[in-house]
Chains A and B, each alone.
Chain A
Amino acid sequence: MSTKFEFETRSIHSGLERDELYGATSLPIYETAAFAYQRAEDLEAVFAGRKPGYIYSRINNPTVAAFERRINSLEEGLGAIATASGMAAIATTVGTLTQSGDEIIASKSLFGGTLQFFNEVLASNGIKTVYVDPTDIEAYRRAFSSKTRLVFVETIGNPKLDIPDLRAIARLANENNVPLVVDSTLTTPYLLEAKKFGVNIVIHSTSKYIAGSGQAIGGILVDLGNFNWRNSKSELLVAMTRQAGEFAFLARARKQILQNTGSCLAPFNAFLQNLGLETLALRMKQHCENALRLAEFLKTQDLVGVNYPGLPEHAQYQLAKEQYRGFGAMITIRLGSKERCFEVINRFQMVKQLANVGDAKTLVIHPASTIFHTYSEAEQETAGVYPDLIRISVGIENIKDIIDDFEQALTGR
């Protein structure tokens, strides 16, 4: 029997096992390193993959598994693997799909941490990243080579806020027998139905909207079950299909990459983030509503520029409207100078300055002097970062209080 419940219902019920011992309805936190078996034959069978079971929490864990099932249900995927952080999810995915000598095609407009991973970790390990303007489909087309193993984009560029045409990119990627990997952190499973647009692997930093209150770091990757790994250009993946069939990507990701590199999600963090999922839909609605109202307010202020995908003048406003259930809650403003940015940031009373996004609290940061500080001005500009730009992650406080704090910080009154 399989009744498909709606998103909000699945976000509360999916993945939770019936508690045979006590009838508990909240996810038990299996804060344990390992799992004992009475019989040697049973542990042997679990290691051989003949019997489902838990061995060691670096490999899998019941609390983490419940979180994986819930996310998998929300993304309607084949399976999900949780990791210690969003970056670990990216690293595990790339590690599963590539080896030295391979290439990846990536949007130029990416989170600073992801750029650093590609430029400093992958590059020195023989994996080349070919960067493209995410909104230029011809640029992707030109970037493909026989060595390309994946295409990587963010649903909303951080912090450029540009939006890729997922369907078009997915089509192109699949024509080249290469999976499309999408970082949907700023949209979440609620705003983007990744599978519907042909995305093959979707990744989230669950530290953000999924956790909900900036309380725990985590990540997750989901195989949406729509890429035939037998056609993969990675011989290691093709070899895995002979053992694991359509689970080849997930099997290699968990048993060969995650298990051996070790960036597993802590059970307590999985518990917290699983809890966050229960209110994700409600919170995303409020985040988006607040962001639009704040963006409209900011347009009335003395600023050089206001950027928000939900403003009709945004270059990809229509595309965002078609692809996403809401325009997200990221806004950037330009104030004319770094000095003015710093003055404004220093005046905030409720809004917090810190390096994070997707928190219930409204957050700001000056990316050029922080997240992107190791990059030159030219490199920063490529990613949509300017010396006079402030990035805002709009929270779910009462919008009146958010607007009031921005008004006094901007005007100094």
Chain B
Amino acid sequence: MQLKINGKEEEVQLKVGNITELLAVKNVEMPEMVSVELNGEILERAAYETTLVKDNDQIEFLYFMGGGCVAWCNA
């Protein structure tokens, strides 16, 4: 499907079609710290599994906490 991600038009292939998959497919940095805005609305993290994206959706990946990478030990 066609998606506008961080301002850029992209063709993305998804199987499940939810935000969680999109984060993985797009290799989004620090998925545990990223905020996702879908069509101008900020999503709750708890909704990433259940929210599906559709053709022509606009998605912004935003970081508010400041930098940092994935912890070595996922604890």
Note all chain A residues with C-beta closer than 8 A to B67.
46, 52-54, 60, 62, 65
User: Interface 1/0s, chain A 247-267, versus B by CB < 8 A?
Assistant: 100110011000000000000
**Interchain CB contact under 8 A, A244 and B42:** yes
**Interchain CB contact under 8 A, B66 and A247:** no
**Interchain CB contact under 8 A, B6 and A50:** yes
Q: How far is the CA of A66 from the CA of B42 in the complex (A)?
A: 27
**Interchain CB contact under 8 A, B75 and A73:** yes
Q: Is B14 an interface residue (CB 8 A)?
A: no
Q: Is A413 an interface residue (CB 8 A)?
A: no
**Interchain CB contact under 8 A, B66 and A254:** yes
How near does chain A come to B30, taking the closest CB pair, in angstroms? Answer: 5
Note all chain A residues with C-beta closer than 8 A to B13.
none
**Interchain CB contact under 8 A, A254 and B64:** yes
Q: Which of A3, A69, A73, A250 contacts B64 (CB 8 A)?
A: A250
How near does chain A come to B19, taking the closest CB pair, in angstroms? Answer: 12
Q: How far is the CA of A307 from the CA of B60 in the complex (A)?
A: 56
User: Interface 1/0s, chain B 46-75, versus A by CB < 8 A?
Assistant: 000000000000001111111111111111
Q: Is B35 an interface residue (CB 8 A)?
A: yes
How near does chain B come to A279, taking the closest CB pair, in angstroms? Answer: 17
Which residues of A from 1 to 21 have beta carbons under 8 Å from B? 1-5, 9-10, 13-18
How near does chain A come to B20, taking the closest CB pair, in angstroms? Answer: 14
Q: How far is the CA of A69 from the CA of B74 in the complex (A)?
A: 11
Q: Is A245 an interface residue (CB 8 A)?
A: yes
Residues of B within 8 A of A (CB-CB), count: 26
User: Interface 1/0s, chain A 43-62, versus B by CB < 8 A?
Assistant: 00010011111100001101
**Interchain CB contact under 8 A, A62 and B68:** yes
**Interchain CB contact under 8 A, A245 and B66:** no
Note all chain A residues with C-beta closer than 8 A to B30.
52
Note all chain A residues with C-beta closer than 8 A to B73.
5, 13-14, 16
**Interchain CB contact under 8 A, B42 and A52:** no
**Interchain CB contact under 8 A, A69 and B42:** no
Note all chain B residues with C-beta closer than 8 A to A1.
74
**Interchain CB contact under 8 A, B65 and A79:** yes
Q: Which residue of chain B is the closest to A258 with respect to CB atoms?
A: B66
How near does chain B come to A334, taking the closest CB pair, in angstroms? Answer: 45
Q: Is A241 an interface residue (CB 8 A)?
A: yes
**Interchain CB contact under 8 A, A241 and B64:** no
Q: How far is the CA of A246 from the CA of B36 in the complex (A)?
A: 11
Note all chain B residues with C-beta closer than 8 A to A38.
none
**Interchain CB contact under 8 A, B75 and A254:** no
Q: Which of A2, A18, A49, A68 contacts B72 (CB 8 A)?
A: A18
Q: Which of B42, B44, B45, B71 contacts A16 (CB 8 A)?
A: B71
**Interchain CB contact under 8 A, B45 and A250:** no
How near does chain A come to B34, taking the closest CB pair, in angstroms? Answer: 8
How near does chain B come to A2, taking the closest CB pair, in angstroms? Answer: 5
**Interchain CB contact under 8 A, B64 and A247:** yes
Q: How far is the CA of A13 from the CA of B71 in the complex (A)?
A: 9
Q: How far is the CA of A290 from the CA of B73 in the complex (A)?
A: 33
Known: A52-B33, A245-B35. Contact between A251 and B64, CB under 8 A? yes
Note all chain B residues with C-beta closer than 8 A to A60.
65-68
Q: Which residue of chain B is the closest to A69 with respect to CB atoms?
A: B71
**Interchain CB contact under 8 A, B68 and A255:** no
Note all chain A residues with C-beta closer than 8 A to B64.
49, 243-244, 247, 250-251, 254-255
Q: How far is the CA of A219 from the CA of B71 in the complex (A)?
A: 22
Known: A62-B68, A65-B68, A245-B45. Contact between A14 and B35, CB under 8 A? no
* 6 tightest Cβ-Cβ pairs between the two chains A and B: A60-B66, A251-B64, A245-B42, A65-B68, A13-B73, A18-B72
Question: Which B residues fall within an 8 A CB radius of A?
Answer: 6, 29-30, 33-35, 42-45, 60-75
Of the A-B pairs whose beta carbons lie under 8 Å apart in the complex, a sample of 14, sorted by A's number, is A2-B75, A16-B73, A17-B69, A17-B71, A49-B62, A49-B64, A52-B69, A54-B66, A60-B66, A69-B71, A79-B33, A243-B62, A244-B42, A245-B45
Q: In the complex, given contacts A3-B75, A18-B72, A251-B64, what are 16 additional A-B residue pairs having Cβ atoms less than 8 angstroms apart?
A: A1-B74, A2-B74, A4-B75, A14-B73, A17-B72, A46-B67, A50-B60, A52-B63, A52-B66, A65-B67, A68-B68, A73-B75, A245-B35, A246-B44, A250-B65, A255-B64
Question: Which A residues fall within an 8 A CB radius of B?
Answer: 1-5, 9-10, 13-18, 46, 49-54, 59-60, 62, 65-66, 68-69, 73, 79, 241-247, 250-251, 254-255
